[in-house]
């Protein structure tokens, strides 16, 4: 099979389309022939060596995708050859064939395309747990969303609005602000100027109930924007490493800092299917609109990584084998 690989850590130029052996199938696995593969910042971190990778090169990136079942392990039930399956948190996804553990195989309804499934799964499930588990957004809450034009950001805006929140979206450019507004944000701000003061003004000088921070370097400003007793949810560091936090500040302001990992929340196949099903239902009813999808052939992985690293993209990047 063909796969997007790299032999050493480095810039996007290390990525090459290579011929590699087909994956082996184990008893509790299925083999999926991929039709669409999601690209995420974690792929960039792994390519650069920021995240640990097991084994020896050639390394294959990718952790989410969708396609058609081509083979079934001896211990797998309730899945048939030809079924439409999506997956997330499954390594080596930047390939024509992927071995997917049964407990991570998520059925895809016929009214959801492979591109849509690969685009929504990881980021949609992330937005879902952020608004339900990291902080349970309620009617009337003031919610600040950083990087609101990104894949997770636009879905966060929409899910918070569906729960009745007042959403204040922050983005870096006028084009991205427009995307956040289109996603349903009540108010939009840019990082130019004193945006924390703007948040205070929009919340009657109280501050936000929750601030979702995927930038990292903005963490202290997020605390400034949160109300006394408010919460900051840290879930990414696209803008650089976060500063160290003094727990005495948390005590003095009664504020909460929380993080989380999606797979610590969705620990069973039933959880994954249930949460994914909620997303698919919202999409089918046009209540959850996906950010724009930009596609590249698998052979053009360098270009896909370059676009994501530029931070100019709005929406989701998908590789097509």
Q: What is the mean pLDDT of residues 259-272?
A: 90
Cα distance between residue 191 and residue 199, in whole Å: 12
Going from the C-alpha of 289 to that of each of 26, 168, 169, 185, 293, the distances in angstroms are: 37, 18, 17, 13, 11
Residue 57: predicted pLDDT: 92
Cα distance between residue 199 and residue 221, in whole Å: 11
Q: What is the DSSP string of 98-156?
A: EEEEGGG-EE--TTS-HHHHHHHHHHHHHHHHIIIIIS---TT-EEEETTTTBHHHHHH
Instruction: Write the secondary structure of 240-283 as one string of H (helix), E (strand) and C (coil).
Output: CCCCCCCHHHHHHHCCEEECCCHHHHCCCHHHHHHHHHHHHHHH
pLDDT in tens, 197-251: 999 999 999 999 999 999 999 999 999 999 999 999 999 887 878 899 999 999 9
Q: Which residue has the tokens 């894949």?
A: 151
pLDDT in tens, 75-128: 999 999 999 999 999 999 999 999 999 999 999 999 999 999 999 999 999 999
Query: Whats the size of the chain, residue-wise?
Result: 321
Pairing of strands 316-320, 293-297: parallel
Name the band, by pLDDT with cuts 50, 70 and 90, for residue 163.
Answer: very high
Residue 121: predicted pLDDT: 94
- Res 283 pLDDT > 90: yes
pLDDT in tens, 24-67: 999 999 999 999 999 988 899 899 987 777 788 999 999 999 99
Closest residue by Cα to residue 227 from 274, 177, 166: 166
The answer to whether 90 touches 100, Cβ cutoff 8 Å, is yes
Q: Which residue has the tokens 């797998």?
A: 76
Residue 61: predicted pLDDT: 95
The answer to whether 171 touches 178, Cβ cutoff 8 Å, is no
Residue 313: predicted pLDDT: 79
Identify any residues that bridge with 107 across adjacent strands, giving them in sequence order.
85
Structural domains of the chain in order of their starting residue, each with its CATH number: 2-121+263-320 (3.90.180.10), 139-259 (3.40.50.720)
Cα distance between residue 233 and residue 256, in whole Å: 8
pLDDT in tens, 295-319: 999 999 999 999 998 877 788 999 9
């Amino acid at each position: 099979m063909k796969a997007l690989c790299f032999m050493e850590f480095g810039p996007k130029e290390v990525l090459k389309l290579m011929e590699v052996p087909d994956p082996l199938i184990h008893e509790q696995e299925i083999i999926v022939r991929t039709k669409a593969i999601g690209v995420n910042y974690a792929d960039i971190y792994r390519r650069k060596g920021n995240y640990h990778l097991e084994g020896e090169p050639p390394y294959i990136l990718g952790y989410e995708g969708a396609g058609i079942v081509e083979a079934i392990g001896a211990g797998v039930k309730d899945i048939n050859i030809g079924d439409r399956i999506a997956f997330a948190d499954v390594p080596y996804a930047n390939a024509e064939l992927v071995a997917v553990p049964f407990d991570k195989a998520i059925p895809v309804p016929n009214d959801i395309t492979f591109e849509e499934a690969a685009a929504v799964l990881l980021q949609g499930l992330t937005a879902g747990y952020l608004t339900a588990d990291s902080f349970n957004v309620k009617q009337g809450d003031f919610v600040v969303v950083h990087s609101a034009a990104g894949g997770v950001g636009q879905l966060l805006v929409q899910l918070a609005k569906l729960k009745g929140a007042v959403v204040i979206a922050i983005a870096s450019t006028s084009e991205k602000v427009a995307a956040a507004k289109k996603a349903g944000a009540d108010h939009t701000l840019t990082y130019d100027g004193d945006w924390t003061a703007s948040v205070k003004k929009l919340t009657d000088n109280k501050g936000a109930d929750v601030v979702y921070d995927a930038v990292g370097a903005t963490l202290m400003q997020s605390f400034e924007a949160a109300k006394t007793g408010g919460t900051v949810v840290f879930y990414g560091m696209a803008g650089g490493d976060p500063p160290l936090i003094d727990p005495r500040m948390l005590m003095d302001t009664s504020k909460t800092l929380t993080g989380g990992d999606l797979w610590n929340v969705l620990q069973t196949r039933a959880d994954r299917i249930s949460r994914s099903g909620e997303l698919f239902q919202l999409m089918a009813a046009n209540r959850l609109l996906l950010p724009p999808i930009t596609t590249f052939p698998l052979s053009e992985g360098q270009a896909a990584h370059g676009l994501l690293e530029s931070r100019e993209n709005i929406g989701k990047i998908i590789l097509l084998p």
